A and B are shown apart, each in its own frame.
Chain A
Amino acid sequence: RKEVEQDPGPFNVPEGATVAFNCTYSNSASQSFFWYRQDCRKEPKLLMSVYSSGNEDGRFTAQLNRASQYISLLIRDSKLSDSATYLCVVNSPSGTYKYIFGTGTRLKVLA
């Protein structure tokens, strides 16, 4: 099983749509979870941290299910500017807490 697994997409959705991304991780000892956004040939930028209680930031909602080792990201009312690759990131509990990245899910929001 891959350490962090995501559906690579692409997801092509119309403006205003709601889209959901899922991610699973293999190490149950992982403690920190994140969604990063990456635009083409740019650095990953933090979108949000993910907590067991769930968290929301405007149009974005992230959820963590530790029992299923599953992380989700919901984007409501998609904008053209949301077009990017969304990276699921898990903090390895190996001692240095290096990041382990998923392959990313590509989103294209269409006018």
Chain B
Amino acid sequence: EPEVTQTPSHQVTQMGQEVILRCVPISNHLYFYWYRQILGQKVEFLVSFYNNEISEKSEIFDDQFSVERPDGSNFTLKIRSTKLEDSAMYFCASGGRHTDTQYFGPGTRLTVL
């Protein structure tokens, strides 16, 4: 069964450093998303991506964040200068159509020290 994969599973970084979180969505999906979940809190939407551009972003997704689909398979989330409050689980998700069920990757746990 096809699945969304994410790397790394855990990333530890120093405050102010740049991190890139990587995702490989399900191959025939067209809609891609990043969500995050701070420990003990609910899952929050960050950004959606379709047709090689951002289709919607939340207030959380400020200038420090960017997304890219550099080739036909990878979908990346970059945080330029990490803050302590960026520590969270980051989940990538993909869907075949915009109303379709979204399938989530296993997440990257980001720890900012």
Which secondary structure characterizes the binding site on chain A? loop
Contact residues in B for A46 (Cβ distance below 8 Å): 101, 103
Please state if B42 and A101 are interface contacts (CB–CB under 8 Å). yes
Chain A 20-61 interface residues, beta-carbon cutoff 8 Å to B: 31-32, 34, 41-46, 49
Given A49-B101, A104-B42, A99 contacting B107 (CB threshold 8 A): no
Given A43-B104, A44-B43, A45-B104, A99 contacting B89 (CB threshold 8 A): no
User: What's the interface size class on B, roughly?
Assistant: 20 to 34
With CB as the reference atom, state the residue of chain A lying closest to B95: A97
A31–B43 alpha-carbon span in the complex (Å):
19
Which secondary structure characterizes the binding site on chain B? strand
Interface string of A82-101 (1 = CB under 8 A from B): 00000100010011111111
Contact residues in A for B41 (Cβ distance below 8 Å): 103
A45–B55 alpha-carbon span in the complex (Å):
24
Contact residues in A for B91 (Cβ distance below 8 Å): 43-44
Please state if A97 and B99 are interface contacts (CB–CB under 8 Å). yes
B interface residues with partner A (beta carbon < 8 Å): 31, 33, 35, 41-45, 48, 50, 55-56, 89, 91, 93, 95, 98-99, 101-107, 109
A-B contact pairs, 16 of them (CB 8 A): A32-B99, A34-B101, A41-B109, A42-B106, A43-B104, A49-B101, A95-B56, A96-B31, A96-B55, A96-B56, A97-B95, A97-B99, A98-B33, A98-B48, A99-B35, A101-B44
